[in-house]
């Protein structure tokens, strides 16, 4: 195969998708392709799609069409969650050459290079075990994602992810630990443990293995300096987990928690098995035990039957937690979900107004949390050198601009925080 062949990637959605894109990318690069930016002219474009919101669905279509516009002679491949759940919609987009669902995602290069069927979308619910044997190695030597679990058995009323990912399947502990050790030996200092629903890790093994078990094993790997955990459900935050967060310096004090609402009526309609008070008290406990810990969250507003009282309950409960940031999603119907058939849909203008109110709260939370760290010294993990400045993250995942280029990617440097501008801190190397 000619070395002049070029491939470009575009990934939408979660960290799991990012990990899986790296697996696909590795196959192309090992077979003579050069990676280029998505806006550059490429021979092959791979779009790893998301379908968690209607906005994501629109972005999928936009990027697929965009690829063919950049190079009309290119091959455009749609893979990922939208490709798994919306095959017929994608078949109507003439710019798409291959549709490859999540089941066959790791075979994208093979399917394309051997010119196999253009439509490779098997039944996701036939997947009973975590079957991947491939490692996803990013090439910037800063941070690597490690996927340990796929799928979800929760079937929350608003979420179509089980239809895109199937039932929960856990990766064998030995495989997880081998990959992380391999990454450490390859030069990575920080790894991010990721999955579709980490709280379900080990539930399919029928043994005494759960998320706390695998996390404790990961933290003992000497080749890695930092461990982060991606999005978790509140029920992942066990006493054991909080203890590890408090006592083990390798486990970074940053949590992204899938909350969705902090009103009991809406939580029940969402089929979330906890109450608002439980979440508030739990997250306050985390920040009492680990004072500088950063907590981010996902919040849906405008859910069916969310009346003014329910919205303001969520708002007031959000105020009680020292969030460092949170993501706001206006509710949108997802096909096959229970909530799509609910009565009491909220008018678009009401949703917009509620988003605006939450955005104002978010802005104040971001400012308040970051100003706590002015004039303090933080350990910053450098991830990018750009335009005469270095950029990286503190242990609690606050982005910092450092006025220095004497350091390289993956250096950990002590920085005095001098100022705050929006969600960016600025500092000087000690």
If asked whether residues 180 and 209 sit together in one domain, one would say yes
Q: Provide the CATH number for the domain around residue 66.
A: 3.40.50.12160
CA dist., res. 92 & res. 368, Å (int)? 48
Residue 30: exposed, middle, or buried by beta-carbon count in 10 A (0-12, 13-18, 19+)? Answer: exposed
Could you tell me if 140 and 409 are in contact, meaning their C-beta atoms sit under 8 angstroms apart? Answer: yes
pLDDT score of 1: 43
CA dist., res. 110 & res. 317, Å (int)? 50
If asked whether residues 315 and 185 sit together in one domain, one would say yes
Instruction: Please indicate, yes or no, if residue 138 is contained in any of the structural domains.
Output: no
Q: Which of 347, 369, 391 is the last residue of a domain?
A: 369
Instruction: Look up residue 142 and give its two tokens.
Output: 């800063």
Distance of CA 139 to the CA centre of its chain: 19
pLDDT score of 394: 97
If asked whether residues 363 and 394 sit together in one domain, one would say no
pTM above 0.85, yes or no: yes
Instruction: Please indicate, yes or no, if residue 135 is contained in any of the structural domains.
Output: no
Residues of the chain with pLDDT under 50: 1-2
In three-state secondary structure terms, 9 is strand
CA dist., res. 402 & res. 49, Å (int)? 34
Instruction: Please indicate, yes or no, if residue 127 is contained in any of the structural domains.
Output: no
If asked whether residues 296 and 314 sit together in one domain, one would say yes
If asked whether residues 218 and 268 sit together in one domain, one would say yes
If asked whether residues 247 and 301 sit together in one domain, one would say yes
Segment 338-379, tens digit of pLDDT:
999 999 999 999 999 999 999 999 999 999 999 999 999 999
If asked whether residues 406 and 267 sit together in one domain, one would say no
Q: How many domains does the chain have?
A: 3
CA dist., res. 402 & res. 53, Å (int)? 35
Q: Provide the CATH number for the domain around residue 330.
A: 3.80.30.20
Parent domain of 396? 377-429
CA dist., res. 118 & res. 99, Å (int)? 6
Q: Provide the CATH number for the domain around residue 417.
A: 2.40.50.140
CA dist., res. 207 & res. 200, Å (int)? 13
CA dist., res. 256 & res. 319, Å (int)? 17
Q: List helix spans (H) across 220-275.
A: 239-247, 264-269
pLDDT score of 142: 77
CA dist., res. 320 & res. 365, Å (int)? 11
pLDDT score of 132: 73
If asked whether residues 181 and 99 sit together in one domain, one would say no
Q: Which of 348, 369, 390 is the last residue of a domain?
A: 369
If asked whether residues 365 and 386 sit together in one domain, one would say no
Q: Which of 317, 343, 369 is the last residue of a domain?
A: 369
pLDDT score of 141: 64
């Amino acid at each position: 195969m000619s070395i002049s062949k070029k491939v470009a990637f575009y990934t939408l959605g979660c960290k799991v998708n990012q990990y899986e894109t790296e697996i696909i990318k590795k196959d192309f690069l090992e077979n003579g392709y050069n990676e280029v930016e998505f806006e550059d002219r490429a021979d092959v474009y791979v779009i790893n799609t998301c379908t968690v919101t209607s906005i994501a669905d629109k972005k999928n279509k936009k990027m697929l069409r965009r690829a063919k516009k950049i190079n009309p002679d290119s091959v455009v491949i749609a893979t990922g969650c939208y490709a798994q759940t919306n095959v017929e919609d994608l078949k109507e987009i003439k710019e798409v050459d291959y549709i490859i669902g999540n089941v066959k995602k790791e075979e994208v290069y093979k399917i394309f290079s051997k010119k196999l069927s253009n439509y490779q979308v098997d039944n996701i619910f036939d997947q009973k075990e975590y079957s991947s044997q491939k490692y996803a190695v990013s090439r910037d030597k800063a941070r690597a994602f490690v996927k340990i679990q796929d799928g979800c058995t929760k079937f929350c009323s608003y979420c179509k992810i089980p239809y895109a990912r199937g039932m929960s399947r856990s990766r064998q502990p030995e495989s997880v630990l081998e990959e992380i050790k391999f990454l450490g030996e390859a030069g990575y200092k920080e790894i991010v443990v990721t999955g579709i629903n980490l709280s379900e890790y080990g539930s399919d093994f029928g043994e005494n293995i759960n998320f706390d078990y695998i996390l404790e094993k990961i933290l003992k790997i000497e080749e890695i300096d930092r461990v982060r955990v991606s999005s978790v459900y509140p029920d992942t935050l066990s006493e054991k987990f909080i203890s590890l967060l408090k006592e083990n310096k390798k486990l970074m004090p940053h949590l992204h928690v899938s909350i969705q609402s902090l009103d009991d009526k809406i939580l029940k309609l969402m089929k979330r098995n906890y109450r608002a008070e439980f979440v508030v008290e739990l997250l306050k406990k985390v920040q009492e035990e680990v004072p500088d810990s950063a907590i981010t969250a996902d919040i849906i507003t405008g859910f069916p039957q969310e009346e003014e009282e329910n919205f303001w309950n969520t708002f007031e409960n959000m105020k009680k937690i020292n969030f460092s940031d949170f993501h706001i999603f206006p509710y949108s119907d997802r096909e096959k979900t229970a909530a799509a058939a609910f009565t009491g849909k909220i008018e678009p203008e009401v949703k917009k107004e509620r988003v605006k109110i939450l955005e104002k709260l978010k802005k104040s939370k971001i400012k308040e949390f970051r100003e706590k760290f002015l004039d303090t010294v933080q350990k910053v993990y450098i991830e990018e050198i750009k335009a005469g400045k270095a950029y990286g993250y503190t242990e609690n995942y606050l982005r910092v601009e450092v006025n220095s280029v004497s350091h390289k990617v993956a250096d950990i440097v002590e920085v005095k925080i001098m100022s705050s501008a929006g969600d960016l801190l600025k500092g000087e190397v000690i």
